[in-house]
Amino acid sequence: MDPEDLALNCSLALRDIDPRERASTAAALGYSAVEFWWPFAEQHPRPEQIREFVDDVRRAQLPAVLLNFPGGGPAVEERGLLSVPGREDDFLRAAETSISIGRQIGTTRYNPMAGNITGTWVEGSQEFETALTNLLRVAPLAAEADATIVLEPLSGFPRAALTTFTEAESLVRAARREGAGNVAVLHDLFHAAVNEDPVLTGAPPASDLIGHVQIADHPGRGWPGTGELPLAEWIDELRRTGYDGYVGIECHGGQPRAAHRALVSD
* DSSP β-bridge partners for residue 247: 6, 213
| C-alpha–C-alpha distance, residues 210 and 106, integer Å | 19
Nearest to 170 by CA among 157, 181, 185: 185
Q: Identify whether 169 is a catalytic site residue.
A: no
Cβ partners under 8 Å of residue 139, min gap 6 = 149, 175, 180, 182, 183
CB burial string 220-236: b at 16+ within 10 A, e below:
ebbbbbbbebebbebbe
Question: CB of 223 within 8 A of CB of 217?
Answer: yes
Q: Are 191 and 235 in contact (CB under 8 A)?
A: no
Residue 137, CB half-sphere, CA atoms under 13 Å: how many? 18
Reduced to 3 states (helix: H, G, I; strand: E, B; else coil), residue 150 is: strand
Choose, from 35, 152, 167, 169, the residue flagged as catalytic: 152
- For the question of residue 178 being annotated catalytic, the response is no
CA distances from 245 to 30, 71, 74, 208, 230 (A): 18, 25, 33, 11, 19
What single-letter amino acid sits at 3? P
Q: What is the set of active-site residues?
A: 152, 250
